[in-house]
Amino acid sequence: MTKNSLLKENQTFIGVLNPYDNKDKIDNLVKKKINTFSLELLPRITRAQSMDILSSQANLAGYKAVVESFAYFEKAIPMMMTAAGTIPAAKVLVVGAGVAGLQAIATAKRMGAIVFATDVRMASKEQVESLGGKFLTVEGAENLETEGGYAKEASDDFKKKQEELLSETLKKIDIVICTALIPGKKAPVIIKEDMINNMNTGSIIYDLAAVQGGNTAHTKVDEIVNKNGVKIMGESNILNKLPTSASNLYAKNLFNFVSNLYDEENKMININLEDEIIEKTLIK
């Protein structure tokens, strides 16, 4: 017996359903007249922020990626001036300045690192700089942002310019946090093999995009790949290392979503398609 056979007509099914990869399974639910809501499809509007599971979980992932990276880095993070000499601050590059990236910037900065960041969305520049990071701008960059606030695929010309900028930057970077994702598509490979070869021995790359293919040429899920002395890390679910915090935030997101669905007066679920949150997340 399949799991979805336990669901009955007119029941409501809410979750993180990954609709791009599970289309056939979800279509079967819809055919059975099961009200199916995928929380990844929430619109980027103010009223939906308290329900936004992508943001709440990405926030934790960005924090934990920095902590995990620093644990494997074999040098001190902040600058230390001692009688025996000065230890320079670690240099961190965050690739992708969405929710996870911004939290990674804030965490690394708080721990004393010098932080750089890059993103295809020019709107991210102000946010990066407000957290104390330096935004790396590709010359002649276009704003590659969808109406929903997500990144979209870059042109070949932009990719070439970005590669040149990254190649030079990575030569002086100690730790890289990769967070670049395109909804419904394989993660873009941003850090190529030749770039990794030019990094300093002992450097760390933590790839939060590992499950979707990774942002580097050598990312492997749940493995630490050692490439010429550079450790490349990618986990299938980094949130497993923050189970209490992740579960608490997810539960609150879910509660707020169900509260919006619930008709208090009639004591029932009300699927009001005039509500943008309900209309966008319901899979038809």
Q: Any idea which residues carry the catalytic annotation? A: 44, 49, 52, 55, 150
Beta bridge partners of 262: 269
Token couple for 195: 């770039």
Rounded to 10 degrees, the C-alpha dihedral 205/211/216/222 comes to 50
Compute φ and ψ for 27, nearest 5 degrees: -60, -35
